[in-house]
Amino acid sequence: MGLVPESPSPSGSLAWDQLQALAPPPPDRVRGVTNAQAQLRLFRSSESEVRVTLYRDHHAWCPYCQKVWLWLEEKQIPYRIRKVTMNCYGDKESWYRQRVPSGMLPALELDGRLITESDLILAALEAAFGPLERPLEDPEVLALRQLERRLFRAWCQWLCCTGEAGPASEPAERHFEKMAVLVEAALAVHEGPWFLQSLSCVDLIFTPYLERMGASLSYYKGYGLRQCHPALDRWFSALEQRSTYLGTQSDFHTHAHDLPPQMGRCLASGTAAQVACAAQIDQGPWITPHDGSGGSGTGPAAVAASPVLETRQLEPPGAALEALARVLKHRHTLVAVNPYSGAGFDQALACALTRLVGGGVACLPPPGSAPGLRYLRDRICVPRDMSLHAARRLRQALESTAQADPAGALEAPTPIPTNQRRDQDPRRFAPA
Ligand X SMILES: N[C@@H](CCC(=O)N[C@@H](CS)C(=O)NCC(=O)O)C(=O)O
105 belongs to the binding site for ligand X (CB under 6 A): yes
Q: Burial code of 55-84, b = ≥16 C-beta within 10 A, e = fewer?
A: bbbbbbbbbbbbbbbbbbbbbebbbbbebb
- Binding segment for ligand X (CB under 6 A), chosen from 48-56, 57-65, 301-309, 358-366, is 57-65
Q: Are 354 and 360 in contact (CB under 8 A)?
A: yes
373 belongs to the binding site for ligand X (CB under 6 A): no
Diameter of the chain by CA atoms? Answer: 68
Neighbours of 13 (CB within 10 A): 25
Q: Are 219 and 416 in contact (CB under 8 A)?
A: no
* CA distance linking residue 320 with residue 414, whole number of Å: 26
- Binding segment for ligand X (CB under 6 A), chosen from 43-51, 112-120, 149-157, 299-307, is 112-120
The CA R_g of the chain, rounded to the nearest whole Å, is: 22
* CA distance linking residue 225 with residue 210, whole number of Å: 9
C-beta of 49 vs 119, nearer to ligand X: 119
- Binding segment for ligand X (CB under 6 A), chosen from 3-11, 17-25, 86-94, 318-326, is 86-94
List, in order, residues 6 or more apart from 56 with CB less than 8 Å away: 62, 65, 68, 69, 81, 82, 83, 84, 105, 106
Q: Which of residues 170-229 bind ligand X (CB under 6 A)?
A: none
Q: Are 96 and 81 in contact (CB under 8 A)?
A: no
Smallest distance from the beta carbon of 299 to ligand X, in angstroms?
34
- Binding segment for ligand X (CB under 6 A), chosen from 28-36, 81-89, 131-139, 309-317, is 81-89
136 belongs to the binding site for ligand X (CB under 6 A): no
62 belongs to the binding site for ligand X (CB under 6 A): yes
C-beta of 105 vs 402, nearer to ligand X: 105
C-beta of 103 vs 344, nearer to ligand X: 103
* CA distance linking residue 84 with residue 57, whole number of Å: 5
419 belongs to the binding site for ligand X (CB under 6 A): no
* CA distance linking residue 23 with residue 267, whole number of Å: 40
Among 118, 218, 280, 424, binds ligand X (CB under 6 A): 118
Cross-strand bridge partners of residue 132: none
Backbone angles phi, psi at 258, to 5 degrees: -90, -20
Q: Which of residues 386-415 bind ligand X (CB under 6 A)?
A: none
- Binding segment for ligand X (CB under 6 A), chosen from 83-91, 205-213, 272-280, 409-417, is 83-91
C-beta of 117 vs 184, nearer to ligand X: 117
Burial class (CB in 10 A: 0-12, 13-18, 19+), 94: exposed
Among 109, 117, 138, 240, binds ligand X (CB under 6 A): 117
C-beta of 84 vs 351, nearer to ligand X: 84
Smallest distance from the beta carbon of 120 to ligand X, in angstroms?
8
86 belongs to the binding site for ligand X (CB under 6 A): yes
Among 18, 41, 60, 64, binds ligand X (CB under 6 A): 64
103 belongs to the binding site for ligand X (CB under 6 A): yes
Q: Which residues make up the interface to ligand X (CB under 6 A)?
A: 62-64, 86-88, 103-106, 117-119
